[in-house]
Structure 1
Amino acid sequence: MTDLAAEAPIVGRSLWADAVARLKANKAAMVSLIYLVLMALVCVVGPNLLPHPYTAIYADYVRVSPSLSAYPKPEMIETALQDVVRRMRADLEEWHEADGRIFLTVSGPKPIDERVTRYLDRSNSFKDTRIESKSPDGLKLTMSAMIKEEYFFFGTDNTGRDLLTRTLIAGRVSLAIGLLAGCVAVAIGVLYGATAGFMGGKTDEVMMRIVDILYSLPFIFFVIMLVVFFGRNFILMFLAVGAVLWLDMARIVRGQALSIRRQEYVQAAEALGVGSGGILRRHIIPNLLGPVVIYMTLLVPQVIILESFLSFLGLGVQEPMTSWGVLISQGARNIGSANFLLLFPAFFLVSTLFALNFIGDGLRDALDPKDR
């Protein structure tokens, strides 16, 4: 029995393994994590699988309602035919449907050119137009065309663009902006705050006074200045915005670094002759990863909301590119007549923000050393 016990020693579990186990036990955080991963995959892959490009305009389907069935609806066919015939500068005599095709007879005061079939082919409702018959004097022409079926599961916007594709493209842009600006803010904040907290003394005093000065600048004024300098390139602009949002991170990291620098293992490293840069890389920053990861999950939704706010004001993403903020801005102007333009992007934005906040709460509980 003694030999068996010696062969099977008790294996301990690291703090990170314990944190992962605690995070997995948090159902809200895990469901939110799965939802966020699926949301990111859908936003990245979805627009490539949908039949409608996010810039494609369907003039026959401006602000149509969401539907699981194909457009055009039966009651829309006659209106679409009248619009096409009007562009032909002719009169619609009669039309009927047979064998899956639409047959229409048009007339005019002058002989009708057979090339008018291009008007049907160019429309969003018909395709495969053929000449069936023509009167001897050329004043009447009978044509047939197939109905071009289009699916708009989220409806279309004010210019006839598919809202589903644009919502997914907007999610791709909003999530990318949130991660991009968040990573920039974390990188700058961690390095700045860790350096200030570890160095201490006058160096810490000067560095934190710089942070206080930057805090005093009006944020919207600063963003307007960034737009003037960087133009409407949202990647450069939100890189710069991320370079402003590091202030909170710097304060958090600085406080943690002041506590860590007094620990015995840091003093031992100093006694062994390890330089300041080595202590920062090997001891200070690795032990700050817990608070940093938690704040990162809270910073990303903050950046997404900021982007939505700036786009709502017209300072963010510009057409034809879109984001959830842009779509919500457009939907708010049409809430009385087409509320679906607001509901779908707002649902995607709100659900993503909820998921990120639940993940942040789960990480906070999992990484809290006082709650082990």
Structure 2
Amino acid sequence: MNLEKGLASKYIYITFVIATYWIVSILTVFVNKALLSSKAVDLDAPLFVTWFQCIVSVTICITLRKVSQWFPRYIEIADGSPFRKDILKKVLPLSLLFTGMIATNNLCLKHVGVAFYYVGRSLTTVFNVVFTYILLGQKTSFKCIICCAVIIAGFWLGVDQEQVAGSLSVLGTFFGVLGSLLLSLYSIRVKQTLPAVNDDIWLLSYYNNVYSIVIFIPLMLINGEQTIVYNYDKLEHPFFWGAMTIGGLFGFAIGYFTALQIKVTSPLTHNVSGTAKACAQTVLATYWFNEEKSFLWWMSNIVVLTASAFYARIRQLDLSKEYKIETQQFKV
């Protein structure tokens, strides 16, 4: 009975994490789209926006650490320094992926609509299969490879329909594909890096954002954003900084719940969850922005989602079969 209750509590917790990830992720996309492309903000400096969000995240981490020291009975957060040489060596590779991931995500979102953002970043599962084989040496079944081929076909159909509609952004699509690639690498690397921070999501988020603040500085300078920000006419407006802070709060939340979802499930489950979430996000975006899409455009979304769902099911069965074989060998 206690075992059943424990399993039920575990599944409830996992469901809560996934649902929260969905809500936070969808809201983050809409908030970032407003910051990056809306006329109300009108600031052509996507890397600066992302950099400021990292600053907000670090501020939140430091504040929560102080609160935990004042009220240890109610909140407990581990103490850690991102400037330790051993931590820097272990976490920096992940932080480079983290920086690239959030930068390309925002660059993609700046150039494409929220509705197409899903298809533009739908190759994450495909890249996950490729890098799982290259980096971890894990082979994938032929059925899974077929699913990946269908996902690629759905992606190209979506790109084609964007071009037919005259709304295709080649640059936005490029950043979407690059973002998918970096997300796959990040998902795999998170599992390998968490033990270095005692499986503490808060510390990992703190370290990632501290390192990203530094990494973004040369990127912003190369992109010439310092001049754009200096000449920005709304730099002293409270509305602008309020909107930027809200974006930073969501940026911190999505970073935390992304890592937490990977921790309580797996990189594969996280990628599939992200794909399914993006489908709901697409429907909301077409309704919110009052966009009309063609039948083939919707088919591209359905193809990607269906293939991703089949892939998840096949992988689940494959892993279950592998587990049974290993268990039987252990008994023998």
Q: Does the alignment reach a TM-score above 0.5?
A: no
Higher helix share: 2
State the structure with bigger RCO (CA 8 A, min sep 6), 1 or 2.
2
Using structure 2 for the length normalisation, give the TM-score: 0.33
Higher strand share: 1
